[in-house]
């Protein structure tokens, strides 16, 4: 029997990681690549924020270059409303209130030691996950992330379709084969097995210096 989604929301902390700091694309616009407009008054990074909120993330962490952090914060703000609850009526005891759930947004500047050395979206994901876990652990043991949700700002798709998969994303025993073919998963696992020792040691050595 599946648990009610309200209980899943209150018990599982899934941080949403949005990697922005990395090698720039070849658009050569005067603004950052993540701030490309994809619709009227709608930027690519804002679509990634909406995706995280739709998937059920409790917090959103944007890993960005330090020079565009003030601009992103001015544009996006410090929180976003969860679209799953927005406009719904929630029953609290005998009263009905309009459902609004706020998802805080945190802006993490890329580490100065990584500049021009580890400029990639993959490294931004690892660094953002490390920061999100370290801060969450210090707040409360109930805030320890169960897993992470990654949203890339350079992919565009209708995020409202994630609503029907929201309860699956928030399950602790959610398996990757629900989204990826088994053949692709086997290839990824073989690659990780071959490179796990050297990559893990290199990553741990770097984390000690941060």
Q: Per-residue pLDDT tens for 108-161?
A: 998 888 877 777 888 899 999 999 999 998 988 888 887 889 999 888 878 877
pTM for the full model? 0.73
pLDDT for 112 equals: 81
Q: Looking at the predicted structure, is the pLDDT value of residue 28 above 50? A: yes
| Residue 26 shares a structural domain with residue 61 | yes
Evaluate whether 63 touches 111 at the Cβ level (below 8 Å): no
Structural domains in the chain (count):
2
Report the first-to-last Cα separation within the chain, whole angstroms.
44
Residue listed under structure tokens 């990780």: 192
Beta strands in 10-166 (DSSP E): 15-19, 37-39, 42-43, 59-64, 79-81, 89-92, 95-98, 102-109, 149-150
pLDDT for 59 equals: 93
Most confident listed range (47-56, 79-88, 112-121, 179-188): 47-56
| Residue 99 shares a structural domain with residue 189 | no
| Residue 32 shares a structural domain with residue 120 | yes
| Residue 93 shares a structural domain with residue 186 | no
What's the CATH code of the domain at 113?
3.90.550
| Residue 132 shares a structural domain with residue 152 | yes
| Residue 42 shares a structural domain with residue 113 | yes
The pLDDT of 6-16, averaged and rounded, is 67
């Amino acid at each position: 029997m599946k648990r009610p989604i309200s209980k899943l929301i209150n018990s599982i902390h899934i941080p949403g990681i949005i990697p922005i700091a990395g090698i720039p694309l070849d658009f050569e616009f005067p603004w950052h690549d993540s701030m490309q407009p994809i619709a009227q008054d709608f930027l690519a990074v804002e679509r990634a924020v909406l995706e995280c909120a739709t998937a059920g993330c409790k917090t959103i962490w944007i890993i960005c270059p330090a020079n565009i952090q003030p601009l992103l914060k001015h544009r996006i703000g410090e929180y976003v409303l969860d679209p799953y609850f927005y406009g719904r009526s929630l029953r609290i005891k005998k009263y009905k209130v309009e459902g609004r759930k706020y998802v805080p947004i945190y802006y993490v500047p890329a580490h100065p030691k990584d500049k021009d050395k580890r400029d990639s979206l993959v490294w931004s994901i690892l660094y953002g996950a490390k920061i999100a876990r370290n801060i969450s652990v210090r707040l409360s043991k109930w805030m320890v992330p169960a897993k992470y949700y990654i949203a890339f700002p350079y992919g565009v798709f209708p995020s409202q379709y994630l609503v029907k998969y929201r309860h699956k994303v928030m399950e602790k025993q959610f398996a990757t084969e629900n989204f990826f073919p088994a053949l692709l998963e086997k290839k990824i696992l073989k690659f990780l097995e071959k490179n796990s020792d050297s990559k893990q040691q290199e990553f741990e050595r770097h984390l000690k210096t941060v």
